[in-house]
Amino acid sequence: MEVLTEAPRQPSVVDELGVTVQRDFLHFLSEFQTEDEQPVYAEAVEQMRLNETTTLYVDFAHVSEHSQILAASIEEEYFRMEPYLREAVRQFVETVSLPNAPNDDRDVKDYFIAFHNLLGTVPIRHLKTARIGTLISIRGTVVRTSAVHPELVSGTFQCNECQAVVENVEQQFKYTQPTRCRNPVCVNTKDFKLLLERSKFVDFQKIRVQESSDEIPSGSMPRSMDIILRHEAVEKAKPGDKSCFMGTLVVVPDVSQLATPGQKTQLSSSGSQRAAEGYGSDGLTGLKALGVRDLTYKLAFLAQMVQPLDHKMDQINIREEEATTESVISQFSEPERQRILEMKGDPDLYKKLSRSIAPAVFGHEEVKRGIALMLFGGVHKNTSDGIGLRGDINTCIVGDPSTSKSQFLKYVVEFVPRAVYTSGRASSAAGLTAAVVRDEDSNEFYIEAGALMLADNGICCIDEFDKMEMRDQVAIHEAMEQQ
């Protein structure tokens, strides 16, 4: 059998800038040290080996400190430089962990790179085509996540006419076959078979991020962006998380718009309807001037690093799921710990805490004390027979109009890292709990988080609760009982 190879994302013409960036980045990984002359990334590679991971996390501030030219080249041409950076990481890992290993043990894994600590973030509303391919960071609230699927990134195809094998065909965000058979005596251009066992797959997850409420201009709808996660970045964000994503803006085919304008995209097993309309099993036939199907694309964000925004801003969520007493104490510095111990002995601590709740609102001392107790909450307990007893406190504020009820809710939303504000007048049970919707691209069903799911381990503030319908109130009561 004849085997023909196509280089993986390495152009036939040598990219001199890419080769230079690869050499300089390898020098940076090898030479960069901390103030006490400890090699930073050699230790990171050793930690990768112990944890059996393949992603090297690089602080972009270190790159800027080492070389401004290298940092500017990576930031402005990240998508173009990414294969060269990965090759530099592979060489560095071999130098550190496998210096004397035989060649058979080398180049077994694909290594990846993830930058963090970028300077500034770009609002989702400002993501335009001018930023395609550059290294940027965005932030927002995760509202939707898909299941983790395998994605084909490098395919190996076999020609069905001459049985020649074409390896390392890169996939351009869609199923991409070789343009023609590499056998010079074969003229096949479309009849290929994918060899699954010799192709490369990676974990793939698509999530949708919505811009934060403080970034939405008055009178505008919130914008959202699809985020593509690969490799070890999958399952790092859940619905409701406020996260920061580092990566690059890319252009992907808009599958939902490939149908004729005015017609709805449907998946059909027989394909008889589309064949009758002129779309046979071989794809689009006839004049290429029919429609603009090849010109229909959309922007997406290819993220290689996910960071919880609360930790990035030195904040922690209420009742972190995996938090322990030691991990919470370690978040504070020594002066902060001493200050907390001094507050512990203050006899008027309870009054001071209640007065600090919405200080712009005069009076309402009982309401403020109730809100302070709700923010602290109780203790979660598990009985001997496995029944969980909630420790959360649910508060209902009842009063006359213009008595600062909504001000208390908005203060809590601004104060708590993970809080959602919604109005009961226009909310339904599906919008507050969860809704099952269909994905326009894959035609699969998934769960879209409502206000209560977005505020998990936080506070959900519902204004005008009495304006809700009775069946919607029952759904909220069930969630409060069984949280």
| pLDDT score at 286 | 46
Does residue 255 or residue 113 have the better pLDDT?
Answer: 113
| pLDDT score at 481 | 72
Range in 111-115, 136-140, 149-153, 240-244 with the lowest mean pLDDT: 240-244
| pLDDT score at 164 | 85
Is a pLDDT exceeding 60 seen at residue 54?
yes
| pLDDT score at 270 | 42
Distance (Å) of CA 451 to CA 66, 132, 375, 412, 462: 45, 33, 18, 15, 9
| pLDDT score at 389 | 79
Q: 346-363, pLDDT tens digit by residue?
A: 888 888 888 888 888 888
Is a pLDDT exceeding 70 seen at residue 277?
no
Nearest to 45 by CA among 119, 109, 137: 109
Q: Span 134-153, mean pLDDT?
A: 86
Q: Span 295-305, mean pLDDT?
A: 83
Range in 8-12, 20-24, 377-381, 401-405 with the lowest mean pLDDT: 8-12
Q: Which residues contact 305 (CB under 8 A, 6 or more apart)?
A: 57, 114, 115, 116, 233, 245, 246, 247
Is a pLDDT exceeding 60 seen at residue 184?
yes
Q: 416-471, pLDDT tens digit by residue?
A: 777 788 877 766 655 676 667 776 666 667 667 777 777 777 788 888 888 877 87
Burial (Cβ within 10 Å: 0-12, 13-18, ≥19) of residue 66 = middle
| pLDDT score at 276 | 47
| pLDDT score at 310 | 57
Q: 214-246, pLDDT tens digit by residue?
A: 777 777 788 888 898 988 888 888 877 788 899
Is a pLDDT exceeding 60 seen at residue 281?
no
| pLDDT score at 315 | 42
Q: Span 296-320, mean pLDDT?
A: 66
| pLDDT score at 2 | 52
| pLDDT score at 430 | 59
Cβ neighbours, 10 Å, residue 213: 11
